[in-house]
Amino acid sequence: MKKKYITAEEFDEKFDAGEDISQYLEIDKARRPDLEQKKISLSLPHWMISGIDKEARKMGVSRQALMKIWINEKLKG
C-alpha cells in the first residue's frame, strides 16, 4: 500500500538511503523554476545581427542559442 504523505525528514532519509521515492512525488505538478522562460523582444542593428549569425554558424548553434550562451556567461561572470 502506498503512503501518500510523509514528512520532509522521512523523505530526506529515504532519498539519502537510495530508496525509490517516486511514489511520494506528484510528477504532473513538477516544474523547474530555473528553466521557466519568458519571451522578450530585442531590436538590434543589422551589423550586430550579422555578427551574431556569423559566430553562431562557427559554433554550429542557432542565433538564439548563442545569445543565451553569451548572456549566461556574462551573468555568471
Q: What is the pLDDT of residues 7-66, one digit of tens each?
A: 999 999 999 999 998 888 888 887 777 777 889 999 999 999 999 999 999 999 999 999
| pLDDT, position 42 | 95
Q: Residue 3 has what pLDDT?
A: 56
67, 73 Cβ separation under 8 angstroms: no
Number of domains in the chain: 1
Contact 61, 43 (CB under 8 A): no
Pure H helices in 1-77: 8-16, 46-59, 63-76
Q: What is the structure's pLDDT at 37?
A: 83
Q: Structure pTM?
A: 0.55
Q: Is pLDDT above 90 for 1?
A: no
Q: Is 45 among the domain residues?
A: yes
The answer to whether 66 touches 51, Cβ cutoff 8 Å, is: no
12 vs 74: CA distance, rounded Å = 35
Closest CA to 62 of 71, 72, 52: 52
- Let me know if residue 59 belongs to a domain: yes
pLDDT of residue 34: 76
Supply the range of the domain harboring residue 58. 8-28+41-76
Cell 504532473 locates to 28
